[in-house]
Structure 1
Amino acid sequence: MNIEKSTIALAGMFQAAELVRQIARQGLFDQGQFETSIQSLLKLEADSVEDVYGEIGGIKTGLQVLCGQLGAGVQREMEVMHYVLGMILLERKLMKSDDLLLNIRAGIESAQAQVEMYTINHPNVIVYLANLYSQTLGTLDFRLKVNGEKRFLENQNNADKIRALLLAGIRSTVLWRQKGGKRLQFIFSRRKILRKAQQLLERIKS
């Protein structure tokens, strides 16, 4: 396992999960970090893990939340962990279906063309990605339940953003697996991951 590469991808997962929590609970979110997460979904070809997210600063939120989840004596955000573990389970099921993988790739390629016409956070793009999630991952026998305030969850724009973010989170999960990520690392490699995430945050500051 390459600890730096897998930690960057893991931060991508935690960022998507944290943004889902923010939208569901508060109806508010960091626009810059949201755009990075969506951009990472559309980056099918990249020179490096870091390149998937543009730059390390783009996943600052993910690194901060990851440190909070793994650090000792810190109040953990269990909803975020619930979403991350759900992404891991969905990714395992997705990788068993060649048809769904092909459909998602074709859908992402179509979304790339839309971004060239509009912008990364244009409602048309977000709605398209949300529908792609529903028509692919949403058909699996496991549904990732999102908790939050009813008034925020019933807002269609919020619901679309949440689905698009979950799709982005799955993309980061695939990347995390490719770099040697495994669930047991949350137990056995916690300190290594925490230390690397802290080092990456320091790199952002400097």
Structure 2
Amino acid sequence: MTGKTERERALAFAGILQALQLVQSTAYGKPYDVGAFQASLSSLLTIDAASVEEVYGGVDGVRNGLRALQAQLAAGRQKPDAELSRYVVTLLHLERKLSKRSDLLDSLRDGIERVQGQLEHFDIAHPNVQANLADIYSNTISTLQPRIMVKGEPDRLADPAVANQIRALLLAAMRSAVLWRQCGGTRLGLVFGRHKLAQAAAALAQGK
């Protein structure tokens, strides 16, 4: 991975928000963009990508996330999604803990490599693949504190297939959080550089 520009940080942070928005849609049973869903899950498999864009299959892969980034960070009439903000704060906190655990990072990489082999037989959105991604999340990130407590419809959250999808998407969100950090992203920079990040997202969304 090369470069640590605002553009690359915007793409990675858009990846975080897109995956977390998909978590919300899944938890509440709302319709979601299938293309965005596949792009978010597929980002888990591009471990050694040459660029941030390549991780998501191009800018279009995180277009929904870029819109979410603008809504969350740009000052305006639209208030940020408080639930989404809580997920982001917890995720970034967990990412710092994860970065210090070489054992968990090794387990993550091994698990992802196994899933890559599974894709010779199944699509990324197949329930079997999602179940394996969910297991990776449960055995690694979910062992760290605090755990991300997902809100939604209780009956849906109790459904194993829905739970697997949510955990797979949380794993995708964490992948983007790691990428954001690799691109030079910091929590302090997020606080003081939010407008620049939102501007970069707007330019990307407009194809600039």
- Confirm or deny a common fold (TM above 0.5): yes
Residue 18 of structure 1 aligns with which residue? Answer: 21
What is the aligned residue count?
204
Alignment-derived partner of residue 195 in structure 1: 199
Native 8 Å contact 2:10 2:197 kept in 1:
yes
CA contact (8 A) 2:98 2:104 kept: yes
Deviant stretches of 4+, over 4 Å: none
Q: Do the aligned residues in 2 keep the contact of 1:20 with 1:165 (CA within 8 Å)?
A: yes
Aligned partners of 1:155, 1:29: CA distance in 2, in Å?
Answer: 18
1:157 aligned onto 2:132: no
Task: From 33, 37, 41, give the equivalent of 2:40.
Answer: 37
1:93 aligns with 2:110: no
**TM-score, normalising length from structure 2?**
0.94
8 A Cα contact 2:27 2:150, kept in partner: yes
The alpha-carbon deviation at position 158 of structure 1 amounts to: 1.2
The one-letter code sitting in structure 1 at the alignment partner of 2:82 is M
Instruction: Please point out which of 174, 177, 201 is paired with 1:170.
Output: 174
The answer to whether 1:115 aligns with 2:119 is yes
Amino acid in structure 2 at the alignment position of 1:171: R
How well do the aligned residues superpose, as a CA RMSD in angstroms?
1.2
Q: Which runs of 5+ in 2 are unaligned?
A: none
8 Å contact kept, 1:7–1:197: yes
1:161 deviates by 0.7
- 1:130 and 2:124 aligned: no
What is the aligned counterpart of 2:64 among 53, 61, 74? Answer: 61
Aligned pair 1:82/2:89, yes or no? no
CA contact (8 A) 1:27 1:152 kept: no
What whole-Å deviation, never above 9, does each CA across 1:40-63 have from its counterpart, x for those lacking one? 011101110100000101101111
Question: TM-score, with normalisation over the residues of structure 1?
Answer: 0.95
Offset of residue 27 of structure 1 = 4.5
% identical aligned pairs: 44
